[in-house]
Amino acid sequence: MIQPEKIIIADDHPLFRQALLGTLKAKLSYTNWLEAQTIAELEQLLDENNDSDLLLLDLNIPGAHGFNTLIHVRNHFPQIPVVIVSAHEDHDTISKAMGYGAAGFIPKSTPVVDIYNAIITILSGDVWLPASFQQAQVNDADSDIAERVASLTQQQYRILMMFAQGMLNKQIAYDLNVSEATIKAHATAIFRKLNVRNRTQAVIAIGQLDLQETGFDSQQK
């Protein structure tokens, strides 16, 4: 049986993580499980553990902004397979996740035992998807902005996510321990790569990669 050395779980629901780990730790007893509840925690884990065997990513983890985190991780840590574990189970979300480089998609409604089997399948090099799923194409507009987001450096991506949170340059500079001039320089580079003129347009652009909210999803959160 496959025994991966290190798996990261990025999910902000303690009860879901506990239920998942309760089963997975018993079956994968030699695996080191690393947990992140926010994008900041995930970024730190990835920087310190870029030899991880797998990342289980919730698309709704705070600060993720839809598919942006998936795209960023696949670009900067291509050696780490990313499996989406999400309450969003519609065909469009699954199709886009796979189009942006996910190695598999596991709905949160999937029984935990089946989640384990899905993980083993993916670690074996195969793709795992819900049985009812049929692949669709990612449209050209989404594909274009995804490529632009993927072109950002890690620091530029971090700053872009702070723009999306509405933080001022002064606040960002303080949090990242750099000068405001440095933030402005990064902002200029970000706008050029995204083909926009200002931070408002940048946030609107990445909004194309947000998830479509539904009544079911809001009940899950």
pLDDT in 10s for each residue of the chain, 221 residues: 568 899 999 999 998 899 889 888 998 989 999 999 998 899 999 999 999 999 999 988 888 778 889 988 988 898 999 999 998 888 888 888 888 889 899 999 898 888 888 998 888 888 888 887 765 445 565 667 878 888 888 888 889 988 988 999 999 999 999 988 899 989 998 998 888 888 888 888 887 777 655 433 434 43
For each of the domains in the chain, give its residue range(s) and CATH number, in order of start: 6-124 (3.40.50.2300), 142-208 (1.10.10.10)
User: How far is the C-alpha of 203 from the C-alpha of 159, rounded, in Å?
Assistant: 11
State phi, psi for 24 to the nearest 5 degrees.
-65, -40
User: For residue 58, what pLDDT is reported?
Assistant: 94
User: For residue 50, what pLDDT is reported?
Assistant: 93
User: For residue 140, what pLDDT is reported?
Assistant: 60
Torsion of CA 51, 135, 62, 46, to 10 degrees: 10
User: For residue 75, what pLDDT is reported?
Assistant: 83
Residues facing 8 on adjacent strands: 34, 55
Distances in whole angstroms, Cα of residue 165 to Cα of each of 83, 88, 147: 25, 22, 22
User: For residue 141, what pLDDT is reported?
Assistant: 58
User: For residue 218, what pLDDT is reported?
Assistant: 39
* Closest to 9 measured CA to CA, from 1, 41, 161: 41
User: For residue 44, what pLDDT is reported?
Assistant: 94
